[in-house]
Amino acid sequence: MKKTPFFDRHNQLGAKMAEFGGYQMPIQYSGVKQEHLTVRNGVGVFDVSHMGEFIVEGENALTFLQYICSNDLNKLTPGKAQYNYFPNDKGGIVDDLIVYQLGSQKYLLVVNASNIDKDWQWVLARNEDFDAEIYNISDQMGQLAIQGPKAIAAMQCLTSFDLISLSNYSHVTADFADCEGVLIATTGYTGAGGIEIYFKQSQAIKVWTAIMDAGRSFDIQPIGLAARDTLRLEMGFCLYGNEINDTRSPISAGLGWVTKTETDFLNAKLHQKAIDEGTPEKLVGFEIETRGIPRTGYFIFDKNQQPIGQVTSGTQSPSLNKGIGMGYVKSSNAQLGETILIKIRDKFLPAKVVKMPFYKPK
Residues 269 and 288 in one domain: no
Residues 176 and 232 in one domain: yes
Mean pLDDT of 333-352: 97
Q: Give, as one character, the DSSP assignment of residue 142.
A: E
Residues 83 and 187 in one domain: yes
For residue 362, the model assigns a pLDDT of 74
Residues 29 and 164 in one domain: yes
Q: Judge whether 361 lies within some domain.
A: no
The pLDDT confidence band at residue 231, using thresholds 50, 70 and 90, is very high
Last residue of a domain, one of 260, 278, 296: 278
Q: Judge whether 46 lies within some domain.
A: yes
Q: Judge whether 101 lies within some domain.
A: yes
Instruction: Name the β-bridge partners of 136.
Output: 54
Round the average pLDDT of the chain to a whole number and report it. Answer: 97
Q: Judge whether 359 lies within some domain.
A: no
Last residue of a domain, one of 278, 313, 333: 278
Residues 289 and 190 in one domain: no
For residue 16, the model assigns a pLDDT of 98
Residues 292 and 339 in one domain: yes
Judge whether residue 36 has pLDDT over 90.
yes
Residues 152 and 286 in one domain: no
Q: Judge whether 228 lies within some domain.
A: yes
Residues 61 and 50 in one domain: yes
Last residue of a domain, one of 278, 313, 328: 278
- The domain that holds 102 is classified in CATH as 3.30.1360.120
Could you tell me the residue range of the domain that residue 113 belongs to? 1-278
Q: Which percentage of the chain shows pLDDT scores above 90? A: 99
- The domain that holds 292 is classified in CATH as 2.40.30.110
Residues 235 and 329 in one domain: no
Q: Where are the beta strands (DSSP E) in the chain?
A: 2-3, 16-20, 23-28, 44-47, 52-57, 81-87, 93-103, 106-111, 133-136, 141-147, 171-176, 179-185, 194-200, 221-223, 281-288, 299-301, 307-317, 322-330, 339-344, 347-354
DSSP-derived pairing of the beta strands 299-301 and 194-200: unpaired
pLDDT in tens, 261-311: 999 999 999 999 999 999 999 999 999 999 999 999 999 999 999 999 999
pLDDT in tens, 91-141: 999 999 999 999 999 999 999 999 999 999 999 999 999 999 999 999 999
Q: Judge whether 81 lies within some domain.
A: yes
Count structural domains, the chain: 2
Q: Judge whether 335 lies within some domain.
A: yes
User: Contact at 8 Å (CB) between 14 and 29?
Assistant: yes
User: Contact at 8 Å (CB) between 124 and 134?
Assistant: yes
Residues 336 and 198 in one domain: no
Give whole-number Cα distances, 302 to 56, 149, 236, 248, in Å.
47, 39, 22, 22
Residues 126 and 249 in one domain: yes
* Predicted structure pTM score: 0.97
User: Contact at 8 Å (CB) between 79 and 59?
Assistant: no
Residues 205 and 317 in one domain: no
